[in-house]
Amino acid sequence: MRKISLFIAMSLDGYIADSKGGVDWLKGHGSDDENIDTYSEFVKDIDTILMGWNTYYQIVTELSPKEWVYQDFTTYVITHNEHDSSEKIRFVNMNPVELAKSLKKENGKDIWICGGANLIQQLISEDFIDCYYITVIPTILGSGIRLFENAEHEIKLRLLHTQSYNGMTDLIYTRR
């Protein structure tokens, strides 16, 4: 069965975006000689992405307006609005947990939960994320959009791997 993985960065104080939804702060504090590309390694096992509307909209209007950066994947955008889907981008109006359950049963590689916070929190509340790939950015924002908010129950994790570069720390956890 396919795994569902969260691959995301957060500030040291647990935010995935600043109070205006911005992500300009998502960088380390210099440039290490060692070129570590955790993204390319992660996506080798991914063929499907789930994201919320706000994440999709930020990508296509601000972060990469000229080109869809996830061309190699099938992306499901969860939205209440009607939009025309394409072969690679599918707009769906359904419960994210039900969508994830359905996709998990299909053949294919693993599924990446790309964002945003509401989608992530719904999957966490159902303990439906198998692996957590979290990069901690050396920034304290003080406010913004939290990654983990009001968890309904404890989820025990096991640390699989850590690495640090450019002031950032990658943490990889799986459920116990």
How confident is the model at residue 34, as a pLDDT?
63
Using a pLDDT cut of 90, give the percent of the chain over it. 82
- In this predicted structure, the answer to whether residue 32 has a pLDDT above a threshold of 70 is no
pTM score > 0.85 for this model?
yes
Query: CB 15: neighbour CB atoms within 10 A?
Result: 23
How confident is the model at residue 36, as a pLDDT?
76
Grade residue 151 by pLDDT with cuts at 50, 70 and 90.
confident
- In this predicted structure, the answer to whether residue 48 has a pLDDT above a threshold of 90 is yes
User: Comparing C-alpha atoms, which of 2, 19, 16 is closest to residue 134?
Assistant: 16
- In this predicted structure, the answer to whether residue 131 has a pLDDT above a threshold of 90 is yes
The C-alpha atoms of residue 158 and residue 174 are separated, in whole angstroms, by: 5
